Structure 1
């Protein structure tokens, strides 16, 4: 073990002198995280849409929509409600961008509900605020669907149409429940910071495991093996370097991102387990690639392609798993996915025990790729 540590220390000093390791381990992930934070920093923040309502009915059912649906939604912070006195006024506010959408309740709405006649709540949306308009349409659709359901239920039991009106006005029109978006989901700043950290981790650890190929091409590997140094010690030294620089990089990035971007990482014990498992998985993957490459240059190319591919599939740049379908399944083959998923759990308040499935998945990558690397390097070092 002492020999392996000496080899790892020697390689670390060499890597630090050429500054390349520092660039991949710290400067690039921090720089890109800063850029993404500037560009997408507002994504995912709570948004309040300004909407208006024109109650042309002023009946019991329209009052239930305004007071039983719109007011509770307004109290939740999703919308800011404004009452308008005429359709022209409301449409002018929508056209000027002062309202994202306008609800128009037609005259006779309550009577139509009671008699079973056809009626509707009209939504006038701002073309420049599609999300606000969609939110308004969803609210109106939810309420009118409930009205239709109540009317059909009353009709099936042979009730009077007036019973339908009373049922609509007495029923709870909407239930507003506050579900924090941070639960089981990283906020955008944290997501991009974590994505950049794990993406460049795979480039950082390659400096250790690829060192054997450099030593072989430079002729120093033969001299090492000619000395009283075992092949196991040489390989162990390279792997130790990868694990050390990977862990050092992740720790520095975690601290820096917490200070610079206010990232909340969650349970520290769980975070430590996830980071260690992620570093070992990255080391195993990069070691397996290097073990079967013909030379240092080819290994670097293969490792870069694989790191970018796994990073994209795993969601380092975008939560690919949320697309569903085939992409959701493909993301499971990437260590990046399991790393980011575990961090999402921690961000939602999970304990160290809760992230063990993610840690186990990352450990699985380590075992499989580590076995492949051991098989390939046994032949490589003996060549």
Structure 2
């Protein structure tokens, strides 16, 4: 182990003078993170839908909709609620953009609900705010669906007795509202793109360790190194330790810079350390396995670049491919980038170290399989 550490230390001193490593490890990802934060920093931030309500009925069913459905949704922070006194007032607020949608509860609404007559909650939406209108429609649909369910239950149990319907509407269980915002389960756009660039360039950063072995073989220094009382395993371990060390330091510095400069929140530090280490091991092993079966340093670099770009694109470094759904969401899971970014999103949403163990385990599996292939390739090359 001491020999491997000495080899890693020697290579690290040499790489510090290599501007290419500095560019891939820090300058490019940090620079692109800054650009993406400027471009996407405000995208995806949630804003509450501004909803108005006009209660022209003032009956039990109307009050129930306002107080037991809309108010809890407002308390969750999903919407901002405003009471208006007339339809004209509400429609003017919608037209001016002060409201994204307006609920109009017509006169006679409660009587119609209790008697089983046809009625409706009218929604006046702003054409410029289709999302807010959709939110209002979803809320109203949930309530009317509940009323329909009560009516069916009354019809089956009490033969459609209007008094039973009135009692059911007055005492039925309110609609439960639980808000899980998108920011709770995914990184905001600016942070997502910055994290995507960090893991994308990680694969270029860690390639210097395994590629260094090929460089030394081509330069003839590997033969002199092996002539000393140094095992091939120690040499390979030293090169891979360099990759792991540089990868961890690079990711740590990038995440610290993003937190300070862009306000990125990475969540549980223990879980973050676990995911970062697993991700670096996976990247190192994959790049080493490519180098192990390459004929030379240049060929290895070309193949590593192709693999890094393909896996980065599939895994969502440039765009959250998994959100496309269907086949693409499944294909993206073959990339370690997907599991790395998904684990970061979970941590940002409040997940603990235990919660991200599955994602870290998948990354560790990538590292184990690719690492085994790398060892086999280097041993085969040594025996050739």
TM-score (norm 1): 0.89
2:121 aligns with 121
The verdict on how the C-alpha distance between 1:193 and 1:56 changes in structure 2, with shifts beyond 3 A counting, is: same
Q: How does 1:264-275 map to 2 (within 5 A)?
A: 264-275=265-276
* 1:1-383 alignment runs, 5 A limit: 1-157=1-157, 158-179=159-180, 183=184, 185-225=186-226, 229-381=230-382
User: 1:330-373: per-residue Cα shift (whole Å, max 9, x none)?
Assistant: 23322222323333444444444443333322221111111111
Which region of structure 1 is more displaced relative to structure 2, 186-195 or 205-214? 186-195
Larger deviation, residues 368-377 vs 355-364: 355-364
Cα shift at 1:285:
0.3
Contact 1:123 1:137 survives alignment (8 Å): yes
Distance 1:42 1:169, change over 3 A: farther
- Any conservation in 2 of the 1:73–1:79 contact (CA below 8 Å)? yes
Are the counterparts in 1 of residues 78 and 179 from structure 2 also a CA contact under 8 Å? no
Structure 2 CA distance for partners of 1:208 and 1:180, relative to 1, 3 Å: same
- Alignment coverage as a number of residue pairs: 383
Shift in Å, 1:48? 1.6
Deviations 1:304-332, CA, capped at 9 Å, x for gaps: 22212222333334443344432332233
SS of match in other structure, 2:127: coil
Residues 275 and 75 of structure 1: is their aligned pair in 2 closer, same or farther, counting only changes over 3 Å?
closer
The DSSP-based 3-state class of the residue aligned with 2:47 is coil
CA distance in 2 between counterparts of 1:53 and 1:183 reads 28
Does structure 2 conserve the Cα–Cα contact (< 8 Å) formed by 1:247 and 1:279?
yes
Contact 1:51 1:82 in 2 (8 A): yes
How far apart are 1:214 and its partner, in Å?
Answer: 2.5
Contact conserved, 1:61 with 1:165, CA < 8 A, in 2? Answer: no
Deviations 1:129-164 (A, max 9, x none): 111111011011111111111112112221323432
**Paired residue secondary structure (1:52):** strand
Which moves more between the two structures, 303-312 or 210-219?
210-219
The alpha carbon displacement at 1:230 in A equals 4.1
CA contact (8 A) 1:285 1:370 kept: yes
Q: Deviations over 1:272-329 (max 9, x none)?
A: 2322222111110001111222332332222122212222333334443344432332
Give the CA deviation at 1:221: 3.6
Q: Which moved more, 1:159-168 or 1:136-145?
A: 159-168
- Once residues 359 and 80 of structure 1 are traced to their aligned partners in structure 2, the CA distance between those partners, rounded to angstroms, is 39
Determine if contact 1:37/1:189 at 8 Å carries over to the other structure. Answer: yes
**3-state SS in 2 of match to 1:302:** helix
* CA offsets 1:41-72 (integer angstroms, 9 cap, x no match): 23454422112223333333222222322223
Judged with a 3 Å threshold, the aligned counterparts in structure 2 of structure 1 residues 4 and 72 are, in CA distance, closer, same or farther, namely closer
The answer to whether the 8 A contact 2:114-2:169 is kept is no
Q: What SS class does the counterpart of residue 17 from structure 2 fall into?
A: helix
Q: Distance in 2 between matches of 1:111 and 1:127?
A: 32
User: Is this contact kept in 1: 2:39–2:190, CA < 8 A?
Assistant: no
**Residues 54 and 252 (structure 1 numbering): CA distance in 2 closer, same or farther, change over 3 Å?**
same
What are the ranges of 5 or more consecutive residues in structure 1 without an aligned counterpart? none
- Cα pair 1:68 1:172 within 8 Å, conserved: no
